Amino acid sequence: MIHLNANVLILLLITVFVHVDGDKWKRCQDENNGLECFDGIIVGETCYRLLYRAGKRTGYSEAESLCSFHGGQLAEIPDGGTYSILFDYIKKAWMIDLDNPERTYVQCWLGSENDNGVVMMRNGKRGFVAWYPGYPRSTSGHVQMAMEVPILPSHLLRNIGMFNINPSHTAIPLCQFSLNA
């Protein structure tokens, strides 16, 4: 019998790759630094990927730093088509929340910001939004954007969508990498 300590098991979980059939699901590569987006998804000229498939949630600043370290930035969602593709990708790719293995959903950090109910992307253009029920909230400091995706059938389907939240909230980094830089 093989015995694995917790650190080895976590590393194995993080390095497992999900294989999904279909033209939309591809392995993509950032030409600038050779970063592979293992089982990421290509939308137009952008490769989106969860940095890890199992793990612990991070605050906004750490999520931003992790994406930057890997040559990307937190993902932005410009339109409904991209939202649908990313929603399906996250639902199929995410494996387990190590802080709470029974969690029926995953929350992912996005790079856009909420400006009084309007989602703004880094380029100054409006981004797409599918608000989570009860959002946007006008709470002071809740300007960062995240999205919630169900990962188990027991999750209520009405509790999905995007929300504005304080940067101290914890979620999983969803990064984007330009393929034409």
Q: How many other C-beta atoms can be found within 10 angstroms of the C-beta atom of residue 32?
A: 12
**What pLDDT was estimated at residue 112?**
97
Q: For the domain that residue 141 is a member of, what is the CATH number?
A: 3.10.100.10
Mean pLDDT of 139-143: 94
pLDDT band at 181 (very low <50, low <70, confident <90, very high): low
pLDDT digits (tens, 9 = 90+) for 80-112: 999 999 999 999 888 877 778 888 899 999 999
Using the CB atoms, write b or e for 77-103: b if 16+ within 10 Å: bbeeebbebbbbbbbebbbbbbeeeeb
Please indicate, yes or no, if residue 151 is contained in any of the structural domains.
yes
**What pLDDT was estimated at residue 116?**
93
Please indicate, yes or no, if residue 2 is contained in any of the structural domains.
no
- pLDDT at residue 117 tops 70: yes
Please indicate, yes or no, if residue 121 is contained in any of the structural domains.
yes
For residue 139 the two structure tokens come to: 């709470």
Mean pLDDT of 146-158: 85
Range of the domain at 108: 52-175
**What pLDDT was estimated at residue 37?**
55
Using the CB atoms, write b or e for 111-127: b if 16+ within 10 Å: bbbbeeeebbbeeeeeb
- pLDDT at residue 158 tops 60: yes
pLDDT band at 154 (very low <50, low <70, confident <90, very high): confident
Please indicate, yes or no, if residue 72 is contained in any of the structural domains.
yes
As a whole number, the mean pLDDT across the chain is 80
Q: Three-state SS for 81?
A: helix
pLDDT digits (tens, 9 = 90+) for 6-65: 332 332 333 233 333 333 333 344 343 444 456 788 888 889 989 877 788 999 999 999
**What pLDDT was estimated at residue 85?**
95
**What pLDDT was estimated at residue 45?**
82
**What pLDDT was estimated at residue 38?**
63
Residues in the chain: 181
- How many structural domains is the chain composed of? 1
